[in-house]
Amino acid sequence: MLQIVYISTARKPFSEAELRSVLAVSRRNNEAAGITGLLISGGRRFLQALEGPDEAVAAAFDRIKADARHFAVVALSMKHVETREFGNWAMGFEAGGADGPDDLRGVVEALIAPLQDKSLRAQFIGFAEINARAA
């Protein structure tokens, strides 16, 4: 099973309605393709983990890289894993910044508490900390 973690930047801020619409489509498509993962939004920056069947995850990542709504899509890690870290989440999601910069870190820590992979945990905590400092 392939797991990809990437970061990207939106060309313009997403409204809450736009973000919810993207999530609804992503969740539907991911569930159909057997992909699970987590998306964290910190302002215009996104950190996402995708995992599932190799071909499905690679195709989803190719679509994401081609999406004109964001740029600077950088894979932070791409590896094969034996077990899912994100269980049954077709796409877990959390937006940061609503209640201040420290809120994102607390939410991210709660979401990733069950993750076994320490490197994966560090990527999400690091993202939350960087966005807290930038806010």
Domain map (residue ranges) of the chain: 2-134
Query: For the domain 2-134, what is the CATH code?
Result: 3.30.70.100
124 pLDDT above the threshold of 50:
yes
Order the strands of the 92-95 sheet from edge to edge: 70-80, 2-10, 45-52, 36-42, 92-95
| pLDDT digit string, tens, across residues 4-61 | 999 999 999 888 888 888 888 888 999 999 999 988 887 788 899 999 999 999 999 9
Which of 44, 42, 46 has its CA nearest to residue 132?
42
Tens of pLDDT, residue by residue over 109-123, are: 888 888 889 999 999
Least Cα distance to 39 among 127, 103, 98 occurs for: 127
Residue 134 pLDDT more than 80? no
Task: Please tell me the predicted confidence (pLDDT) of residue 135.
Answer: 55
For the whole model, what pTM was predicted?
A: 0.85
